[in-house]
Structure 1
Amino acid sequence: MNSTDAPGGGSTSTAAGYRPTGRRETKPAAATSVHFAPGARVPNATPATQDGPEHTTEPFAYDAILLSGFGGPEGQDDVLPFLRNVTRGRGIPDERLEEVAHHYRHFGGVSPINDHNRELLAALRARLQEAGIDLPVYWGNRNWAPYLDEALEQAAADGVRTMLAIPTSAYSSYSSCRQYREDWADALESAGLQQTLSIDKVRQFFSHPGFLQPFVEGVRAGVAQALAAGHGAEQVEIMFTTHSIPTADAALSGAGLFADTEGGGYAAQHLAAAAEIIEQAAPEISWQLVYQSRSGPPSQPWLEPDINDAIGELEGRSAVVIVPLGFVSDHMEVMWDLDEEATETATERGLWVTRVPTPGVHPAFVGALVDLVQERIEGRPASERANATSIGPWFDVCRPGCCENPRLGFKPAIAGLQP
């Protein structure tokens, strides 16, 4: 591995600030408290966000950026320990975890997500440099090495005191936003940095045109392929798909703004993004929002319909274009649940099928992430921020009670008004 430079140099180790201290299978323990600066409403926040504004209009010079990923196993021996990290606190026995483990074992025990984040890390650094933003980027995962606490330890050792975090998730829900905030609190406590480091987060970026552009291009290409294969426009169905979540969690997503909307803010944000993509790419084609990757017990209601059920119920269609709208890269839920299972379901039904690429390191997406950094450095007003949907731009500081998970009980979190 390469050595790590001090902040401002722009380069870190191969794992972006992570210097391994030996193989480790367990993520940081759950935090028991969070640090509050005197008089602050938002814990472990920079002065720009301590009072909890919906959108920060105060310019602020951050020391570094924290790219936060989900993490994934990189070998067969990693699979079960990784899944234990993902499901910690839920009491799920290894026998049940093995039911999911075979997805990873099918691919040699290696999830592509870490390599995708390495590619994103390199692209983000290059684009920041092009934009004249001289900030180092550290990378830490929630559930596998490089872990968040190790990335924060390295950042602090390099002299970093204020960080702007970019989660690799675009939407509001417990698993796609609040849990990141909880894991940052866990990592700060584990590393003993609660009174040393401040971490803000960029807004949820589902409505940023740079996030949507790769999907616009993908839908156009997918529909064109279907038409070229002899399917009429009226025979094509576009299925925007995202990770299903419990309906109780969905109801608490979106800061209470969508309490009367089925699927809460989580569904509303996806529907708004899909509507914009359709308007730009294929306004004449039928479409729907579907869900995938359900993992809860049958007795627990989750968002529906499942993509396989939806494919099975199609009438008058001969072609399906699958759009992984809820994902930023081709990780396991895309490779297995879509490229394997959903594709097999469509093929068995005699349907022509294609799957649209995820944003990955598409220049427009990487540019969007840099723009999210720039708007916070500049203190750009919400009215001047890039936004392409009927919802947004979303909040810089999470609102009270947004995306909580009552089943798991209250857990300390940062980057929001309610810890």
Structure 2
Amino acid sequence: MSYDAVLLSGFGGPEGQEDVLPFLRNVTRGRGIPDERLEEVAHHYRAFGGVSPINEQNRDLKRALQAALTQAGLDIPVYWGNRNWAPYLDEALEQAAKDGIRTMIAIPTSAYSSYSSCRQYREDWADALEASGLQTTLQIDKVRQFFSHPGFIQPFIDGVQSGVAAAMQAGHDRSAIEVLFSTHSIPIDDAARSGAGLFTDVEGGGYAAQQLAVAAHVVAEAAPGISWQLVYQSRSGPPSQPWLEPDINDALEALEERTAVLIVPLGFVSDHMEVMWDLDTEARETAARLGLWFTRTPTPGTQPDFIDALVDLVQERISGRPTGQRANTTAIGPWFDVCRPGCCENPRLGFKPAIAGLQP
């Protein structure tokens, strides 16, 4: 397949105090949540001047990706559009159409299978095409979920190696170190529908299975035999709705015979608000209260291995690279180009058209 452009898609975030509430209204639109409740979350952003780092991080990612594509001999531009804040997806598509773009390969800034990390992006693209009136003139395909790509995983391997070494240099025995791989919690019902129904025997479905596979590979490469677990953060649903557990703070409270903890933000590609607040602020405070030595390893961000991985994901689609020749380093993967019908659907929100990966 030949492509005219890359579409980088992000969550979006406020860039000033006056943006915070309008942004949160966008995130929660259709749920009828009053501003008083939104303010409970707004203080996370207000503590950083109302500015989420995610937009600047995506600007940096767009620049790095554009430079790497050019260096790889791919003369295609990168467009960037967000789900919840400017620049919005429909604006990016309208500009692309004006520039003569007809086929785009989309890269969401999330590596795993779930509603919010895959399906919702596919619904967003379908909505943006409809809002722009471009359904018949602009085609959007999607790269596969890239959780198993070595370029995505390598920054985590490097981080765990450095973190374990730092803990031991600080006087902590290897047996006293715990590695907590942290990812965003999601409703248990949503998790069960993730991963094309291939992991019904795993609590947390494909979403958890994919991250467990990545974590196991990271430990095997970076610190064989080290104690580790997958934990969750950033729960936002009502108390009556079961979400994936354990929460990272509960996991810290439950640690026994440990003096040092490494937090690995396995579910995130950059140091955005949920990393800075939930991990760097709240989890760090919990660890300090418990007397635990603490470090948080880096996200992939714009590290060269990760940027090269994104270029490789585009190249494998352009060349039609066979599955057996695709980069993959975990027991699960490489993942599908075309998402299966109903995969990661959210019945609470009702059926919505979603781009599958090859056809709108």
If the TM-score is normalised by the length of the shorter chain, which range does it land in?
Answer: over 0.9
CA contact (8 A) 1:162 1:197 kept: yes
1:196 alignment partner in structure 2:
137
CA contact (8 A) 1:243 1:294 kept: yes
1:365 alignment partner in structure 2:
306
Please list every run of 5 or more consecutive structure 2 residues that lacks an aligned counterpart in the other structure.
none
1:205 alignment partner in structure 2:
146
CA contact (8 A) 1:233 1:284 kept: no
The yes-or-no answer on 1:65 pairing with 2:12 is no
1:304 alignment partner in structure 2:
245
SS of 1:369 mapped into structure 2: helix
**What is the rounded CA distance, in whole Å, between the counterparts of 2:286 and 2:196 in structure 1?**
36
Amino acid at match of 1:269: Q
Amino acid at match of 2:194: S
The yes-or-no answer on 1:354 pairing with 2:295 is yes
Amino acid at match of 2:173: G
CA RMSD of aligned residues (A): 1.0
2:285 alignment partner in structure 1:
344
Please list every run of 5 or more consecutive structure 1 residues that lacks an aligned counterpart in the other structure.
1-59
**What is the rounded CA distance, in whole Å, between the counterparts of 2:350 and 2:310 in structure 1?**
32
Q: TM-score normalised to the size of structure 2?
A: 0.99
**C-alpha distance after superposition, 1:129-162 (max 9, x if no partner):** 1100110100000110000000000000000000
The yes-or-no answer on 1:252 pairing with 2:193 is yes
CA contact (8 A) 1:161 1:198 kept: yes
SS of 2:195 mapped into structure 1: coil
SS of 1:288 mapped into structure 2: strand
2:344 alignment partner in structure 1:
403
Amino acid at match of 2:231: V
1:386 alignment partner in structure 2:
327
Structural mapping, 1:11-410, within 5 Å? 60-410=1-351
CA contact (8 A) 1:199 1:415 kept: no
Amino acid at match of 2:213: A
**What is the rounded CA distance, in whole Å, between the counterparts of 2:277 and 2:231 in structure 1?**
16
**What is the rounded CA distance, in whole Å, between the counterparts of 2:292 and 2:342 in structure 1?**
43
Amino acid at match of 2:309: A
**What is the rounded CA distance, in whole Å, between the counterparts of 2:357 and 2:39 in structure 1?**
35
Query: Hey, which of these two has a bigger chunk of helix by percent?
Result: 2
Amino acid at match of 2:24: L
**How far does residue 199 in structure 1 lie from its aligned partner after superposition?**
0.2
**C-alpha distance after superposition, 1:35-73 (max 9, x if no partner):** xxxxxxxxxxxxxxxxxxxxxxxxx11111000011000
**What is the rounded CA distance, in whole Å, between the counterparts of 1:176 and 1:333 in structure 2?**
14
**How far does residue 260 in structure 1 lie from its aligned partner after superposition?**
2.3
Moved beyond 4 Å, runs of 4+: 416-419
Q: TM-score normalised to the size of structure 1?
A: 0.85
CA contact (8 A) 2:177 2:262 kept: yes
Identity of aligned residues (%): 79
CA contact (8 A) 2:142 2:358 kept: no
